[in-house]
Amino acid sequence: MTNRDDIGPVADLDVWQRSMDLVTEVYRLVEQLPARERFGLAEQVRRAVASIPANIAEGNARAHRREYVQFLAIARGSLAETATHIEVARRVGYWSEADLEIAVDLVRRIRQMLNRLIASLSP
C-alpha cells in the first residue's frame, strides 16, 4: 500500500483526490465494455482519465505558478476528453445513465474544482 507521504503534497488536494476517484470509477466501468472495445474505446478512456490526476500532480510539483496553471489546463482538457468518451459509450449503449451516475457527478465536480483552482492561481 502506498503511503500518502510517498505521493507528496498533491495527495492533500481535493481535486487530485476526486480525480483519482474518477480514475477508479472509469476503470470499473471499462470492465463492462464488450471485448471488441478492449483496445479501442477502453484504452482511450483509460489514458484520458489517468492523465487528469497525473497532470495535476506534475503541475503541483513545478516551481512556477504559470507552469502549474498550464498543467491544470491540460488536466481540464483530459477531463473533457474523458467526458466525451463516457458520452460515446453511453450513446452506443455500453453504459446506462445509472451506470454513469457516479462518473458524471465526478466529472462535474472536478471541472468546477479545476476552474476555481485555475482562477485562483491566474493573475
pLDDT in tens, the chain (123 residues): 444 555 577 888 999 999 999 999 999 999 999 999 988 999 999 999 999 999 999 999 988 999 999 999 999 999 999 999 999 999 999 999 998 999 999 999 999 999 999 999 987
In a domain, 4, yes or no: no
Name the residue type at position 23.
V
pTM of the model: 0.91
CATH number of residue 59's parent domain: 1.20.1440.60
Domain hosting residue 89, numbered range: 11-121
pLDDT reported for residue 84: 97
In a domain, 5, yes or no: no
Provide the domain count of the chain.
1
In a domain, 6, yes or no: no
Distance separating alpha carbons of residues 32 and 37, to the nearest angstrom: 10
In a domain, 3, yes or no: no
Q: Is 73 exposed, middle or buried (0-12, 13-18, 19+ CB in 10 A)?
A: middle
Which residue do the cell numbers 470499473 mark? Answer: 28
pLDDT reported for residue 1: 44
In a domain, 75, yes or no: yes
Grid coordinates representing 15?
Answer: 481535486
pLDDT reported for residue 3: 47
In a domain, 65, yes or no: yes
Grid coordinates representing 99?
Answer: 451506470
